[in-house]
Structure 1
């Protein structure tokens, strides 16, 4: 066997360069196992000693390597956790800063949220055109106004946009009756301030009193909501008049802009959507409308829209402005339900010819996207639904 080229000194020097090992045994016990006699090692012991040293190195270095890896991973986790805590702290600090300005954290967050608004306002449409459709509910008991915004087109009038957009409505997805597009053609006679409605001879709008009333009501409300047209001319295949089973033949229809409705909550079955729907009857004044809006309406399953979340102490009207006084000590929660109540009041005020609302002594400054410390304009149209 070839003699090892390693000397005792070289082996000792190699062992000194190894990582420090802490041995907790008593030094006396260690030295008892070592021979202090200097004698020549047998040649066959040297390779065994080298193998033992290599094995010793393996068991010494591997735990330290694993420990180093775990320390690195732990350090990364601590750094990530530290950054996450810093982000949370920054968010809390931001909210606290807003609270110092008089806003709670929830109010500050809702201030930037538009999802709680249901209606369309004039600062949102830019140059777009607002069209309102009246759609029967799932049981065809009431008509729900649904409004869309379409891009501007100087080459099209409102009636053209109305007819072209009918097929884009998603009534069933919205929890309503699939009623559009209407089985009729529409023509605008601007000279005579008239809309001409022409149905085919096989139309179904004359079958049953409920169907007839719904069709005629939709025509009136549609024209009144989207134009200043006063008259509707009815035709069948280009010939004057439409035959209705209960009303007989009708060749024209007056557009009645009665106004003075109160707005209530309507929620379709199986959905969490809240629509703001006008009452079927009208009210003598806005005070009577507000009083009615505090209770549910049996007809059409309309729910009260003014509840404990928005209590009006007193109000007055000055120059088309509704001034609402509230009890500052009354609890007002900044929730979607309270936002809907405020919008129901806004839409009701609009129906009575009011242009702006001022809330005095409000318990909170911000209600969803509304700043109650400033005058708020009434909406352009209710129940906005985006379309493609």
Structure 2
């Protein structure tokens, strides 16, 4: 009776693999080598814990590589190019090593074929699932650092593209001269960019002020030594900040220099007090001035695109078509960038942005035609 396959061996066994299977294994081998190289490239641009994690991921891909080498035997030495996706990832990792590469690597790990391949072990399939979560965690750190000013930049660019395209289409459909459309577009660019910049500054500044108002002072450190031990008000302070009674009593005892508290010492591992919190929240929100500048510049860069055909003297239907085409390309690009950073499909996000932008322009164009006809 044949023994069942042990963990780490393919199931079912293939004593005489077909040429198609060998080719698939060679492709897996090449992709594992490329993925390990990508993680090593990313590790070169980082230090500390992130570097160690990326090198550990590369080591895990090396174990998968060895699995396919054992199955292939002598055929493992026959070179094969990695997939286009992995070649692009390696190129980007060597050149940039940014959160964009991590977001792409997250998607790549999530599309591993090992769970459906009988020649891959269950451990390898589980590894790929875990790798996706590890890379997601690393990418989240970068997304957090980008989220403040990046949010303002993306929203500014999309608002500029959509609002000014809608303005230009609506006015152009009324039948006015191309010069009037051009100056209307420039006016929309300036007014929208100034409005977006001012709005972002007020919004982010207000949010930071709210966070600052919620951040505790250091009064507990200076007042602790003079407090009545039997009526310890510090306990109320920490309970008001969301700690349990036991955790609050332990933290108050620490602040007052009393380490004979009969509560569980492990309570010191409770969520940190707000004296130590707040920095990450401010980092995520970004600065008011930075958000305003980003919003102004990106709104202007987006709003100028619908006006470009009129700047170069075009008019009529040709200007409308070119304006819509240029804006459509820009919308797909910005939507794709957001999709990459969020770990979602870049194509779906790009097409969604395109549909929203051109839909808004179509509505205003129809309204412009109606108003233009009624005026005539």
Which protein has the bigger strand share? 1
Structure ranking higher on relative contact order (CA contacts 8 Å, 6+ apart): 2
- TM-score, length of structure 1 as denominator length: 0.20
Which protein has the bigger helix share? 2
Structure number with bigger Rg: 1
- TM-score, length of structure 2 as denominator length: 0.20
